[in-house]
A and B are shown apart, each in its own frame.
Chain A
C-alpha cells in the first residue's frame, strides 16, 4: 500500500527565510503528487500538483515543488516565506490507476513576522 511521509511535523521560521518541506512516497510506479494547504480557519485547498512532464511544478503564492523519482520525493519549497504562509501543509500521493489519494500527516508551519 502507498504511504506518504512528511518528516517535518512542526517548522518555525522568520519572515524572509527559505522554506523546504519534505515529502516522500513509497509507490514505485506511476504516481500523481499533490500539496494541499490549510490556512487557519479555512478549508484545505490545493497548492500545486504533479501529473507528468516538467518535474519542477509551480503553484500559487510563490510555492514550487520538485518531483525526484529516484528519491521518491516531492519536496515543497518557497525562497522567502511570509507571515501569511502560516498554515498546515499536507502532501498527498495517488498511485497510477487508483482514485484514493494517500495523505501525509501534515506539517505545521509558523512564520514569525
Chain B
C-alpha cells in the first residue's frame, strides 16, 4: 500500500472491555513496531516483529496486552480488560528488511479512550 494504515482511528470503550487495534504495514516491510503515546509523553515501545522471528514483547506493560502478526502483513494489538490508564494513542510503524537502520514509517494511530 501507499503507507501504513491503522484502524479504527478512534475507539471509545468502557473499562473492562477488550479492544483490538489493527495495523496494515507497507507492503514488503518485514519489521513492524507498536508504540503507545500518552498525552504529553514520548513514544513508548510495546512490541516488535521482524519477519518470522519471535517477536520482542519486552515493552508490553502487562499480560492484558498481546499482539499478533500474520506473516509479514497485518498486525493486531489486543488489550484485554481495558483500564483508564490504557487511554492513549497507539501507533504502528513499519520498516524494510534493512530494519534497524532504516526509516520507520508511521501510521496515523488509533486514539483509544477508556471511560
Contacts and interface: CB of A to CB of B under 8 A. Distances in A.
A106 B89 CA distance: 14
Contacts of A43: 3-4, 105-109
Interface residues of A, number: 23
A112 B24 CA distance: 36
Interface string B70-109: 0000000000000000000001010000011101111111
A46 B42 contact: no
A11 to B, nearest CB: 15
Given A43-B3, A99-B31, A105 B41 contact: yes
A22 interface: no
A103 B43 contact: yes
A44 interface: yes
A90 B108 contact: no
Contact of A44 (B45, B48, B56, B106): B106
Contact of A99 (B3, B50, B105, B106): B50
Interface of A: 4, 6, 9, 32, 36, 43-46, 49, 51, 90, 92, 94, 98-106
Interface of B: 3-4, 31, 33, 35, 40-43, 45, 48, 50, 56, 58-59, 91, 93, 99-101, 103-109
Given A44-B93, A100-B45, 14 more contacts: A4-B42, A9-B40, A32-B101, A43-B4, A43-B109, A44-B91, A46-B104, A92-B43, A99-B31, A99-B48, A101-B104, A103-B42, A104-B42, A106-B42
